[in-house]
Structure 1
Amino acid sequence: METIVSSFHSSHFKNLEEVKNNHYMNTCFDNDDEKELPAAEKSLLQKIVRTGLITSKYDIEIQRRNPNSPLYSVKSFELLKLHPNLLKGVYEMGYNAPSKIQETALPLLLANPPQNLIAQSQSGTGKTAAFVLAMLSRVNPDLQYPQVICLSPTYELAIQTGEVAARMSTYCPNIKLRYAVRGEDVVMGSKLEEQIIVGTPGKVLDWVTKYKFFDPKKINVFVLDEADIMVDTQGHQDQSFRIRKLLPNTCQMMFFSATYGEDVMSFANAIAPLSVIIRLKREEETLDNISQYYVTCSTKEDKYNALVNIYGGITIGQAMIFCHTKKMALWLVKQMSEQGHAVSLLSGELTVQQRISVLDRFREGKEKVLITTNVMSRGIDIEQVTIVINFDLPLTVSRQPDFETYLHRIGRTGRFGKKGIAINLITGETDLRLLRLIEEHFSKTIKCLNTENVDDMEKLGADE
């Protein structure tokens, strides 16, 4: 990734690079690697590593709350009758045809009179591009005041949305954006001239109520992104609703979330009443297209030798290796690096920026192997991963198999219908007993693999 921060068409954001660096310097996470990543960070990292849109096999579920909604589907962006410069920006971003969520949501979002929308779809389906395109289409570039507010739950996610808007509006120089995030200040008593405000709820609320930098009654589009994270974040839900109450009744409401529990739906209905609801189900993780193996070893050094045989015996696209502790992960990184292997480490104490850097290098293939702990077992999909190796089996605090973590770990390969390989390195009878419990739990055979046997390695290569 070249940079998280876009050089948008605004002279008012020259110091964002410095703001960003200061923010990251002060953003660290707990040193306990076994804790799951915060939901906001998972969403951010997924946006970073995504190289293309997910092709979902599931149909879209549509609930029409407004009987007058002109809901239909389009198969090309030309049918949306976009401004030519905006259409040019869309194609330059690599969107040749609308994704499943876009082809259903965009006609609704761009229709007149404007319709409210509640949309549920996982990361990678094109929902950000959908609402950004709608935001840009609703802007009147001749009017020099805020017309669109887009809220994100964190600084980093707001910047990501702004970057999408920057790229999409490359050929629309009269459309300007202002980030309402930590570190971005406005001269007291001034009025904003940028048409789009992208920021976090607390900052936007301060700008509109305490400092009155713009008139909320002139806002015609209000977007809430990552709404399920908003619900889980202290104060964000209340702040978002307070902003919502200041907006005119004619304002178009767009509500986007990856998940929809009762609390999220209650929030959605309060923010965007009389909405059309669109849901695209998330593809569940499955083991059907993952070939599973185990290798018996006597020591961690023996495990390492098996790992080297695997690494040298088959053609690996990208590999993820899971260790139970950070100490073991560090040891393994040292061993592989000393042998000349290009590996990277992702552990719990890294800052957001450091994690992004590690994942970006891994996604680009600069390192073929990513060594990590359970911090990366859930929610992050890297399409190039062809093999997952459990250097240590995932265990609960009572030293029993952690079935859910096992599923999420090996589910990092075999994504989106592709074939994948999972290999477990085990030592002793205890590990073998735990492995049999995993095998029984998932009703899937885990085959024995001899990494020093040429025939076994050839069979392994055939499973790729």
Structure 2
Amino acid sequence: IYNMGFRAPSKIQEEVLYHLLNNPSRNIIAQSQSGTGKTAAFSIAIISRIDPANQSPQALIIVPTYELALQIGSVIEKMAQFLPYIQIAYAVRDPTMSKKPNLVRRKLLAEPIVIGTPGTVEDWCRRLRVIDLSRLRIFCVDEADVLITAEDFQQILFSLRLYLKDSSCRMMLFSATYSDDAIKLACRLTQRPVVLRLERETQALHNIRQFFVFCDIPHQKYDAIEQIYASLTIGQAIIFCRKIATARSLAVRMANQKHSVRELTSALDIEQRRTVMSQFREGLFGVLISANVATRGKLNHIIFFCETRSKRSIEVYRGIDVADVSLIINYDMPELVNFKPDYETYLHRIGRCGRFNRPGYVFNLINSLYDVITMRSIAEYFSHPIEEIAIDDISDLEPYQD
């Protein structure tokens, strides 16, 4: 822990570790703002509950995306670097993965920690039977709000839960956002949990300045982007689009203007996606433009976010930490299938910048009355202002002091 740079726990880490490491320990449903250390919190709890003498899966972590599985595994590996018995199996559908375990039907895995996406985890538990759910000591769900409210994945979670032993297995559900319906479902899934939930007004990240730019025509959206880059000192940025074609054309146009840019869309295979994210983390390019396609029941193939008309998309950007991201641009506003504002997705998007209270900017590019209504609903929902700014006035913004 000390080698990773942690000197004192954050608020969510204090709360979670108190309940999970206490005797008796408690089940947890926890909500925490992006960038406050929830991954470290449940990683410490998981490592602490692993019995070195037991060479079979003891902790199961279910996540919505392949990318998040790898990131959580990386955190645990760093945290357990002096504990050789801590090994991880990744339950994801990636034939190229170098850490893929040797699966033998009905022979339990030797790794004490399994991290995976719902479909593959279910396959390993029910068909291959390489995980004995009744022997688990930790059952953890990250980004629980989206998994527990998506019907396909909700069914998987509840079916797996039937095999857990309440007396010996602690359940942990984590997310930056929970709707009221998600909390009700989480409480049904988890026996007598401690619920740590944020007030809605405290969910918005106050270290991030949020603006909207009204663009009379779609063409002006690009003008706004160019003005933002001409006016502000920016580390890295993520631009969220609605359509893959939009992301592609925007990437080409920005590249022609000498921006260092990459796309992340469903047109890429897993290996290409992994390469793009690795390069982005290493700072090899500055702008990530993303568009996403809803993939019900196929969580291993989900890419970064764009808006589709699904009830709720599941986005690989959820939980992804890239410390140098200081700018988010919503080229298109997030919506649900009924065209209502998607509050949770908006919060997850803006949470990609301003990690651990670093300063950040969010610009929402608006070009219709409907976009205005969506934006105002989001501001009202979180009781946090989104300031209007004209394209020509962006250059007058004062530097955001860290």
Aligned counterpart, 2:172: 255
User: RMSD of the alignment, in Å?
Assistant: 4.9
CA shift at 1:117, angstroms? 2.0
- Structure 1 CA distance, aligned partners of 2:152 and 2:241? 36
Aligned counterpart, 2:48: 137
- Structure 2 CA distance, aligned partners of 1:285 and 1:317? 18
CA shift at 1:108, angstroms? 1.2
Q: Is the 8 A contact 1:201 1:239 kept in 2?
A: yes
Q: Deviation per CA, 1:387-442, whole angstroms, max 9, x where unpaired?
A: 6678x78799xxxxx9989x88996898558464749698xxxx8x9999999998
* Residue type at the aligned position of 1:284: A
- Structure 1 CA distance, aligned partners of 2:134 and 2:196? 28
Q: SS at 1:132's partner residue?
A: helix
Aligned counterpart, 1:169: 80
Aligned counterpart, 2:141: 224
Q: Is the 8 A contact 2:91 2:116 kept in 1?
A: yes
Q: Is the 8 A contact 1:413 1:421 kept in 2?
A: no
CA shift at 1:448, angstroms? 4.8
Q: Is the 8 A contact 1:116 1:273 kept in 2?
A: yes
- Structure 2 CA distance, aligned partners of 1:295 and 1:271? 45
Q: 1:423 to 1:126 in 2, by over 3 A?
A: closer
Q: SS at 2:115's partner residue?
A: strand
CA shift at 1:94, angstroms? 2.6
Q: 1:263 to 1:345 in 2, by over 3 A?
A: same
**Which of 113, 135, 146 pairs up with 2:24?**
113
Q: 1:261 to 1:142 in 2, by over 3 A?
A: same
Q: Is the 8 A contact 1:287 1:411 kept in 2?
A: no
Aligned counterpart, 1:283: 203
Q: Is residue 2:99 matched to residue 1:188?
A: no
CA shift at 1:225, angstroms? 2.9
Once the two structures are overlaid, the 10-residue window that deviates more, 264-273 or 207-216, is 207-216
Q: SS at 2:45's partner residue?
A: helix
Q: Is the 8 A contact 1:320 1:369 kept in 2?
A: yes
Q: Is residue 2:147 matched to residue 1:147?
A: no
Once the two structures are overlaid, the 10-residue window that deviates more, 373-382 or 133-142, is 373-382
Aligned counterpart, 1:91: 2
Q: 1:170 to 1:232 in 2, by over 3 A?
A: same
**Which of 380, 396, 400 pairs up with 1:459?**
396
Aligned counterpart, 1:16: none
Aligned counterpart, 2:89: 178
- Structure 2 CA distance, aligned partners of 1:312 and 1:171? 46
Q: SS at 2:262's partner residue?
A: strand
Aligned counterpart, 2:302: none
CA shift at 1:170, angstroms? 1.0
Q: Is the 8 A contact 1:225 1:256 kept in 2?
A: yes
Once the two structures are overlaid, the 10-residue window that deviates more, 212-221 or 415-424, is 415-424
CA shift at 1:101, angstroms? 0.6
- Structure 1 CA distance, aligned partners of 2:249 and 2:143? 37
- Structure 2 CA distance, aligned partners of 1:436 and 1:260? 24
Q: Is the 8 A contact 2:327 2:360 kept in 1?
A: no
Q: 1:358 to 1:103 in 2, by over 3 A?
A: same
Q: Is residue 2:8 matched to residue 1:104?
A: no
* Residue type at the aligned position of 1:223: C
- Structure 2 CA distance, aligned partners of 1:305 and 1:419? 21
User: How do 1:199-238 residues align onto structure 2 when only pairs under 5 Å count?
Assistant: 199-213=116-130, 215-238=132-155
* Residue type at the aligned position of 1:283: Q
- Structure 2 CA distance, aligned partners of 1:235 and 1:136? 30
- Structure 2 CA distance, aligned partners of 1:255 and 1:117? 5
* Residue type at the aligned position of 2:396: K
User: How do 1:343-422 residues align onto structure 2 when only pairs under 5 Å count?
Assistant: 343-347=261-265, 349-351=267-269, 354-355=272-273, 357-358=275-276, 361-362=279-280, 364-371=282-289, 375=305, 384=324, 415=354, 418=359, 420=361, 422=363
Q: Deviation per CA, 1:130-184, whole angstroms, max 9, x where unpaired?
A: 2221121111202333333333344444343333222221111123333344465
Q: 1:308 to 1:111 in 2, by over 3 A?
A: closer
- Structure 1 CA distance, aligned partners of 2:30 and 2:154? 17
Q: 1:457 to 1:286 in 2, by over 3 A?
A: closer
- Structure 2 CA distance, aligned partners of 1:329 and 1:423? 16
* Residue type at the aligned position of 2:286: K
* Residue type at the aligned position of 1:459: D
CA shift at 1:340, angstroms? 3.3
- Structure 1 CA distance, aligned partners of 2:348 and 2:20? 37
- Structure 2 CA distance, aligned partners of 1:136 and 1:409? 27
Q: Is the 8 A contact 1:385 1:412 kept in 2?
A: no
- Structure 1 CA distance, aligned partners of 2:244 and 2:30? 38
Q: 1:310 to 1:170 in 2, by over 3 A?
A: closer
User: How do 1:259-338 residues align onto structure 2 when only pairs under 5 Å count?
Assistant: 259-281=177-199, 283-284=203-204, 289-290=209-210, 311-312=229-230, 315-318=233-236, 330-338=248-256
Which blocks of at least 5 consecutive residues in structure 1 are unaligned?
A: 1-89, 397-401, 451-455
Aligned counterpart, 1:43: none
Select the structure of larger CA radius of gyration.
1
Q: Is the 8 A contact 1:315 1:461 kept in 2?
A: no
* Residue type at the aligned position of 2:137: N
Q: Is the 8 A contact 1:318 1:369 kept in 2?
A: yes
- Structure 2 CA distance, aligned partners of 1:270 and 1:423? 37
- Structure 2 CA distance, aligned partners of 1:278 and 1:409? 18
* Identity across the alignment (%): 34
* Residue type at the aligned position of 2:144: A
Which blocks of at least 5 consecutive residues in structure 2 are unaligned?
A: 96-100, 293-304, 308-314, 336-340, 380-384
Q: 1:231 to 1:335 in 2, by over 3 A?
A: closer
CA shift at 1:356, angstroms? 5.4
- Structure 1 CA distance, aligned partners of 2:170 and 2:2? 26
Once the two structures are overlaid, the 10-residue window that deviates more, 99-108 or 140-149, is 140-149
Q: Would you say how many aligned residue pairs link Structure 1 and Structure 2?
A: 359
* Residue type at the aligned position of 1:174: Y
